[in-house]
Amino acid sequence: MTRRKKSAGPAGPGGEAEPPIAAWTQREHPEWLDEQAWAEWRALCALGLCRHAVQESLASFAGFHFRRLVSRYAFRVNAPGEARALTDRDGWHLFETHLTARQTREGKRYKDWLFARVPPDANSPMQAVAGGAVLLMRDAAREYLAREFAPAGQVSLSSPVNSAESGRLALEDLLPDAASPADEVARREYEALAREHAEEWFAALGARDRMLLLARHMGLPLNHPVVEQAAGCRKSKACASLRNFVENLAADLRRQFADDPAESVRLLATLTLEALNQRIDQWGRQEPRCADLFSLASRHEETTPG
């Protein structure tokens, strides 16, 4: 299967590809890269406290990117069309909430990370800030969709049953009973156990495997020169390394829980990989050697308008 090449930027009037979105932003919306506007927001901590012009500028920036990111990942959920029609203020609110509520493992707020990532010798520091903001918006958009909408293909229990004999019944009316509270307790126990195993595997991972897991977590191609340089290996070896890692993790869990049902062990393996991805992401944001990977991920988001 051939991977579809992503567009370099917004299409021009004649359909031709235009330069990457960073250059397009500099030309069409320089106010989005205004250093004083970002500095004012950083100092006041909330967009609502900033001058009206700053509010309009940064909200417009967030609205544009948040809507395109929601549209990009909406295929993962049952999101109606209106879910993608977020206002500029909605986009900024979701972004700002993500910055406030989330922080790195070491307690560093993502807002601080956003400005700390600017290289000292950067010619366009606000492009680095804006690029980091878009990267964080990607996570916020995914969380928004996962929180607000059911996964794609999942049918709501409130959906009506299309049958003449059923009258006005919904699917939930046909279920025998609600789920037992014990199921939720068991799920939390599995998640806690998964986090413990994720920490053990994280501690045992070498730098190469951590880099590869981080690149895969961010959706970066393993054959990209930046990824190959960070991991110190070519794509073929990277794929083999990741495959061996997943197989070893699954085999280890099967050995430790040999008396448990296979379905339970598979669930634990899935949750462990999810927890490990989050742990790797936290590590990467504090690891200087991962700066190029985050920069690459930011450019991938910036150069893909839809």
* 109 shares a domain with 28: yes
Position 183 pLDDT exceeds 60: yes
Number of domains in the chain: 2
* 142 shares a domain with 25: yes
Domain membership of residue 159 (yes or no) is no
Residue that wins the pLDDT comparison between 186 and 239: 239
pLDDT at 107: 47
In contact, 215 and 231? CB cutoff 8 Å: yes
Domain membership of residue 44 (yes or no) is yes
What mean pLDDT comes out for the span 218-231? 89
pLDDT at 18: 33
pLDDT at 202: 93
Quick one: residue 45, left, alpha or beta (phi over 0 = left, psi -120 to 50 = alpha)? left
Least confident of 20-29, 136-145, 148-157, 256-265: 148-157
Position 179 pLDDT exceeds 70: no
Domain membership of residue 184 (yes or no) is no
pLDDT at 146: 85
* 126 shares a domain with 30: yes
Domain membership of residue 213 (yes or no) is yes
Least confident of 75-84, 95-104, 137-146: 75-84
What mean pLDDT comes out for the span 32-37? 90
Tokens of 34: 């205004």
Domain membership of residue 176 (yes or no) is no
* 144 shares a domain with 46: yes
* Euclidean distance between CA atoms 104 and 226, whole angstroms: 24
Domain membership of residue 124 (yes or no) is yes
* 201 shares a domain with 93: no
Which residue range(s) make up the domain with 227?
A: 189-290
Domain membership of residue 94 (yes or no) is yes
3-class SS string, 171-182: HHHHCCCCCCHH
CA atoms within 13 A on the CB side of 74: 17
> Given pLDDT bands bounded at 50, 70 and 90, which one contains residue 264?
confident
